[in-house]
Amino acid sequence: MVARRAVRRLTLKVTRGVVPGWISGVGVAVILGVSSAGCTTVAGTKRSQFNYMSSADENKLGRDAYASEIGNAKLITSGPEYEMVKRVCDNVVQAAGRLYPDATKGFEWEFKLVDDPKTVNAWCLPGGKIAIYTGLMMAAKNEAQLAVVVGHECSHAIARHGGERMSQQNAVQILLQGAGAGMSFASLNPAAQQATMAALGAGAEYGVVLPFSRSHESEADELGLFIAADAGYDPRQAVQLWKNMAALSGEKPAEWMSTHPADETRIKRLETLMPKAIEIWEARGGKP
């Protein structure tokens, strides 16, 4: 379990060796058969990103990594808390599909509720594989706040931050070295599995937590806020969620807080996005 493991922050340095990064990057693109040299556009923000992985490979990796990460977890599959989480995830996933149909086309959405009341955490792997830890409800105190977290995590997958990070960090090379020509997560050596999980944003079970960059966080905040609003949840609850997170981090270490600082900049930015979010929310009738 996360709480009992020594989770260390790892900054994966780009291992360039004697070969410049861009040359090794091109090499990876050739190996993977990526003809466009990995230039893609993020849904919603239209930012250009370099991603040497195809959506299909990224989603397959997410699927395999999900099975591995969630395999030993104690899951909750019924009861009021499960029903609540299911309702929120269903609504958020539908909204994500409405707002970002192209980016979510190959997704096979799935969620798991992990019975771990001490762990304040949630993540979503490429392809829409969501995990919510029961400890998250210490910070997400109502359905709207939970929708904000789920929307944020799904947005990391929608914006393909995992594949982008793997490309930036040459983790694709690590992956290929570990897996040969295949893209199977299970066949990777332990170091490659660890690097992959860290890049995908769900490495706690592998002893590595690699925070997303500030720009990835801002992007996930923006997409996630609009998704929560389109799912019918009051987007203004996002500000309260982050205040709850900040209050909680003073009491005990929270996994999500270690990668998601609830600072003034973040809250101010959310407030700037709020008029548009409220517009989306009201257009959906103001309820889920």
Q: List residues near Zn ion by CB under 5 A.
A: 220
State which residue, 149 or 171, has the beta carbon closest to Zn ion.
149
State which residue, 25 or 62, has the beta carbon closest to Zn ion.
62
State which residue, 58 or 178, has the beta carbon closest to Zn ion.
58
**CA–CA separation, 160 and 49 (whole Å):** 9
The DSSP H or E segment spanning 8 is strand 8-9
**CA–CA separation, 178 and 46 (whole Å):** 33
As annotated, the active-site residues are 153
The minimum distance between CB 210 and Zn ion, in angstroms, equals 11
Sign of CA dihedral 176, 181, 183, 186: negative
Q: How far is CA 262 from CA 265, 271, 276, in A?
A: 8, 13, 21
The minimum distance between CB 220 and Zn ion, in angstroms, equals 5
The minimum distance between CB 178 and Zn ion, in angstroms, equals 26
The minimum distance between CB 180 and Zn ion, in angstroms, equals 32
CB closest to Zn ion, residue no: 220
State which residue, 150 or 220, has the beta carbon closest to Zn ion.
220
Name the DSSP class of 260: S
Residue among 168, 276, 275 at smallest CA distance from 215: 168
Q: Is 112 helix (H, G, I), strand (E, B) or coil?
A: strand
